[in-house]
Structure 1
Amino acid sequence: MKRNTKFFLIGGVAVIAILILVFSGSSSDAEAEVVVEVEQGEFIVDIMTSGTLEAKNSVPIKGPQGIRNYRIWNLTVQHIIDEGTEVKKGQYVARLDPSELTGKIKDAQLEVEETQSQFTQVKLDTALTMRQARDELINLDYTVREKQLTLDQSQFEPPATIQKAEIELEKAKRALQQAKENYEIRRQQNVAKMQEADAELKGDKNELEGLMSLQKDFTILAPQDGMLIYERSWDGKPVKAGSQISAWDPTVATLPDLSQMITKTYVNEVDIRKVKRGQSVEIGFDAFPDKNQKGRVTKVANVGEQRPNSDAKVFEVEIEVFGTDPVLKPGMTTSNRIITKALDSTIFVPLESLHSQYDSITYVFKKQGGRTIKQEVMLGDANTEYVNILAGLEPNDLIYLSSLRGYEKDEVVLIPEMDGKRQQKEVEEPEPLPEIPQGRRRPGGR
């Protein structure tokens, strides 16, 4: 019996202890919440973006120039050395597929052979034609001389015979003169034919020579010393083996000047209005978390664009990197903190401490003496963690980071000047004047 009484006494004490813990834990949610002080000091408004490191200036490594003149519009990269390779001037960089060029060279060789044959044929025809014309002139000259002899021998013949000989001589002279004129015309025609055939042959030979000279340019060499960086196409993909390059821009790679670096980043359309040229930037590098560089915004795009795998419009921003570091390489990912504004001696609170009521009043849970109130605050600029407070709080005030239970029905303590503005806004605006039919005027109107 004593054992049972002892058991019940121990059980009762345990129950009472549990009840005390339960009630003491639920007596005040506020005591269990995190309380922070309202901070005062310099407040930085920033935008965080990621970007890609590039050289500000670089020398392009190009394939053959002028291939459009030979109706070659695209070239395929057959082989290219690894990106990041240190090359010397004149060192091998890449090789382009010459199959299309080889086909055009064969066609050009056949064309030259054909035009050469045509030129030879025109030359032979011209020589034969002109020889026949010269023989005709010689024969006509002999005829004139014969007619002259006949006339000279007819001096003692009857007048009719003499007149007939004169007529024959005149006809022979006229035929000779016409033959000379025809000969000159025929000569000029043949000269023109020879010039045309010669020009066509020279054109085909020049095209063949041009195509032949392009062959060496299909093996691409470095124009100077440097580190090889692949060229990027319009979709951001690097030029590599199997890629095609355009005849309008046959660049396969670049040799960047590592003494001047920039990082290119993209800012969404909501924040781009805050970004201006000349703003300071703190730059970090994913590959070297312990390294940081200073920089500044040097260019802000005026037109937005749609980036791959993104639904939002973004604007390209170029940031100049101050100083140099041999470990920094083009293509590295950067984290950029763009300082859009710096406020001196202002107060600010964490973003998670803010709450709203009726979508128009922003407040915080503030400790005031031995109680907690819902205090309205006027907001200024914000960054990724904090917001500037323009009114409603003082430095070193204590506020809660999260919402508290049990204060749903408490009224928000309003800022007097904010309350006055709200009351003024709630005053009814005068009703608009009724529409006046065309041709009539309102009182006092012109």
Structure 2
Amino acid sequence: MAIKRKYIIITAVVLCIIAIAAFAGSFSTKKSEKFFVVEKGPFEASLNCKGEINGLVATPIPMPKILGDRELRIWQLKILDLTQDGKYVKKGDFIIQLDASQIISGMREERQKLETEEADLKNAKIDSTVRLTELREDIKNAKLDLEYNKIDLEQSVYESAAYQRKAQMTYQKAENLIAKKQRDYQLEQNKLKMRVGRSEERVKRSKEKIDKFQQAMQAARITAPEDGIVIFGESWDGTKYSKDGNISTWSNGPPIATLPDMSEVLSETYVKEIDISKINVGDKVNVSFDALEGVVINGDIKSIARVGEDHKDFDMKVFKVIIHLDESNDGLKPAMSSNNDIILASEEQALFVPINAVVSENGEDFVYLSNHSNKQKTPVTTGVENEAFVLIKSGLQEGDKVILNPLLEEN
């Protein structure tokens, strides 16, 4: 029993010693974390944003203009087949095959219409020939009558004055009749000419439309205009074009696909409106890639959008930023994700303090210096910050001891 009691006492003493040591270590650690001694050293701050790379120059593959011709009345076509997105192709290689059934159906209807129009034209020409022949025959007969009346007029000199007057009037009437028949002939000729002309125009338009359908048939198979990597565009709902999907024939719309030239590369990214004032055109950028481990390429900001926009991946306005990479890499592919670290500040010798040492009051920044047992509130001018530290432009000097979390210390 005495041995058991002795064992319990020894155990309790050991536990007390461990607890005291732990408390002392905790106190020592807490005390060491209460201050930060200002020193000069290298400081860098950056703004990280995800982006997507692409070639500086890209050859667009638009919807063939003939397919968007309103006269054909084809508003959208089904995609029967297409090459693999991201595949390298050469000039003339297959890109996409569109369903031509609407084109074939339209051309068949137009051919039937052409047959009718050609038949109407043939009939119009026959009718014109027959009618004008009849009118010319009437004029010819009227001229013969005029000759008879002329002879009668000439012989009337041997007759009475009344007969001479009658012969004169008959001759004038025959002349007037010929003039009328000639005018009627001219009017009928113009009328029939217009009828034939309208028929010829309808036949011409129908033939031209059939020719357009034939061009559209050929255009339904789209090939690469240049060498490059195929990047397909998106439909109105934001989805990539794919097999069995529909595509609008609007020729002024976005391209069906592009062939980027990856010899010069850009990264397109978006910066939140709260951060946009921190960056400027020309700022240096370190660009890395999830798909290429260890590859980092330098670049700089080429342009910053003047107007913010809404974006589905952000809960506030963002500004589009274009970054130009100083060089390319064989492993870079269009639409590959990039990590863009925009350098906000990079100094070899700078003063900086932990973020939790700075207090903001009424738009001004302060730190609390530790001077033996006293606390001295000191205004400072801050610069950019990184994840842990903030740059101090003025107000402190090397060796100053600032208090961490000074407001908590007061409590």
Assess same fold via TM > 0.5: yes
Distance (Å, rounded) in 2 between the aligned partners of 1:113 and 1:175? 42
Partner of 1:308: 312
Structure 2 CA distance for partners of 1:357 and 1:95, relative to 1, 3 Å = closer
Query: Contact 1:245 / 1:252 at 8 angstroms: preserved in 2?
Result: no
Distance (Å, rounded) in 2 between the aligned partners of 1:278 and 1:391? 26
Partner of 1:225: 227
How far is 1:226 from its partner?
1.7
Q: Give 2:262's aligned amino acid.
A: L
Partner of 1:69: 70
Partner of 1:124: 126
| Matching residue within 266, 272, 279 for 1:275 | 279
Query: Contact 2:369 / 2:378 at 8 angstroms: preserved in 1?
Result: no
| Matching residue within 371, 387, 391 for 1:388 | 391
Which 5+ residue runs of structure 1 have no aligned equivalent? 410-446
Question: Residue 112 of structure 1 aligns to a residue in which SS?
Answer: helix
How far is 1:329 from its partner?
0.8
The yes-or-no answer on 1:245 pairing with 2:248 is: yes
Distance (Å, rounded) in 1 between the aligned partners of 2:126 and 2:219? 40
Distance (Å, rounded) in 2 between the aligned partners of 1:85 and 1:195? 54
Q: Give 1:244's aligned amino acid.
A: I
Q: Give 2:317's aligned amino acid.
A: K
How far is 1:164 from its partner?
2.1
Query: Contact 1:77 / 1:245 at 8 angstroms: preserved in 2?
Result: no
The yes-or-no answer on 1:260 pairing with 2:264 is: yes
Distance (Å, rounded) in 1 between the aligned partners of 2:45 and 2:337? 23
Distance (Å, rounded) in 1 between the aligned partners of 2:404 and 2:333? 42
Query: Contact 1:86 / 1:227 at 8 angstroms: preserved in 2?
Result: yes
Provide the aligned C-alpha RMSD in A: 3.1
Partner of 1:327: 331
Distance (Å, rounded) in 2 between the aligned partners of 1:359 and 1:15? 55
Q: Give 1:257's aligned amino acid.
A: D
Partner of 1:213: 215
Distance (Å, rounded) in 1 between the aligned partners of 2:134 and 2:193? 16
Query: Contact 1:265 / 1:317 at 8 angstroms: preserved in 2?
Result: yes
Structure 2 CA distance for partners of 1:39 and 1:161, relative to 1, 3 Å = same
Query: Contact 1:363 / 1:374 at 8 angstroms: preserved in 2?
Result: no
Partner of 1:14: 11
Distance (Å, rounded) in 1 between the aligned partners of 2:288 and 2:406? 35
Query: Contact 2:369 / 2:400 at 8 angstroms: preserved in 1?
Result: yes
Structure 2 CA distance for partners of 1:327 and 1:28, relative to 1, 3 Å = closer
Which 5+ residue runs of structure 2 have no aligned equivalent? none
Distance (Å, rounded) in 1 between the aligned partners of 2:247 and 2:231? 17
Write the mapping of 1:400-415 to structure 2, written as runs, cut at 5 A.
407-409=409-411
Distance (Å, rounded) in 2 between the aligned partners of 1:172 and 1:114? 44
How far is 1:138 from its partner?
0.9
Question: Residue 57 of structure 1 aligns to a residue in which SS?
Answer: strand
Distance (Å, rounded) in 2 between the aligned partners of 1:228 and 1:88? 10
Partner of 1:112: 114
The yes-or-no answer on 1:56 pairing with 2:59 is: no
Partner of 1:426: none
Query: Contact 2:304 / 2:321 at 8 angstroms: preserved in 1?
Result: yes
Query: Contact 1:283 / 1:334 at 8 angstroms: preserved in 2?
Result: yes
Structure 2 CA distance for partners of 1:374 and 1:25, relative to 1, 3 Å = farther
Structure 2 CA distance for partners of 1:355 and 1:132, relative to 1, 3 Å = same
Question: Residue 197 of structure 2 aligns to a residue in which SS?
Answer: helix
Distance (Å, rounded) in 2 between the aligned partners of 1:149 and 1:76? 83
The yes-or-no answer on 1:25 pairing with 2:22 is: yes
Question: Residue 302 of structure 1 aligns to a residue in which SS?
Answer: coil
Question: Residue 126 of structure 2 aligns to a residue in which SS?
Answer: helix
Structure 2 CA distance for partners of 1:11 and 1:50, relative to 1, 3 Å = same
Structure 2 CA distance for partners of 1:284 and 1:345, relative to 1, 3 Å = same
Deviates more, 1:134-143 or 1:333-342: 333-342
How far is 1:249 from its partner?
2.6
Partner of 2:150: 148
Q: Give 2:112's aligned amino acid.
A: L
Distance (Å, rounded) in 1 between the aligned partners of 2:52 and 2:206? 49
Partner of 1:182: 184
Q: Give 1:388's aligned amino acid.
A: L
Query: Contact 2:55 / 2:334 at 8 angstroms: preserved in 1?
Result: yes
Structure 2 CA distance for partners of 1:14 and 1:114, relative to 1, 3 Å = same
Distance (Å, rounded) in 1 between the aligned partners of 2:78 and 2:370? 72
Question: Residue 178 of structure 1 aligns to a residue in which SS?
Answer: helix
Distance (Å, rounded) in 1 between the aligned partners of 2:324 and 2:360? 44
> What is the CA deviation profile of residues 116-172 of structure 1, one whole-angstrom value per residue up to 9, with x for unaligned ones?
232223222211221111011011011111222333444433333333222222211
How far is 1:237 from its partner?
3.0
